[in-house]
Copies of this chain bind each other. A is one copy, B any other.
Amino acid sequence: MASESSDMTLKAIGVVRRGETTSDIVINHDLTEALDNLEEFSHIIVLYWMHQVAGQPPTKVRPRGRRELPEVGVFASRSPNRPNPVGKATVRLLQRQGNILKVEGLDAIDGTPVIDIKPYIPGYDSVTDAKAPSWITNR
């Protein structure tokens, strides 16, 4: 199955520096110009490597680790312990200063390697009529 995927090795493009209420995403200096125009967007998508997850990922998990909830397939969950531990977050971009992005709402621990930044495009990244079961939406 993986025959067409010769080499899928990621490079860290930056790192998360966690603050009290906001986080800084510190992008590698050689990629500073690749951030140009990002400040025209109110929100960005951050892909990151959940590097603290260890061990063989389970096939089934309990949503948000809650023991009263039935197990579901790991691809039906947002558990960090998955075959490829890549996290995806949509966050508000508060400020860009050179190679540093200040964001709100990034649920990634300090030191998390960042692998991609994408602009959030309303209509392309959002769905108006999406349905989801209550076990995942009742937060």
* A101 → chain B closest CB, angstroms: 9
A23 at the interface (CB under 8 A from B): no
- Contacts A127-B126, A132-B122 hold; do A111 and B4 have CB atoms under 8 A apart? yes
* A14 → chain B closest CB, angstroms: 7
Interface 1/0 per residue, A85-122 and B, CB below 8 Å: 01010101000000000000000000111011111111
Contacts of A53 in B (CB 8 A): none
Q: How large is the interface on A (under 10, 10 to 19, 20 to 34, 35 or more residues)?
A: 35 or more
User: Are B6 and A12 within 8 A (Cβ)?
Assistant: no
- A residues 1-36 near B (Cβ < 8 Å) are 1-2, 4-6, 8-15, 26-28, 31, 33-36
* A68 → chain B closest CB, angstroms: 16
User: Are B35 and A76 within 8 A (Cβ)?
Assistant: yes
The contact of A86 among B2, B37, B115, B130, by CB within 8 Å, is: B115
Interface 1/0 per residue, A65-95 and B, CB below 8 Å: 0000000111111100011101010101000
User: Are A130 and B42 within 8 A (Cβ)?
Assistant: yes
Q: 6 A-B Cβ contacts within 8 A? A: A13-B83, A42-B127, A45-B88, A78-B119, A120-B132, A125-B126
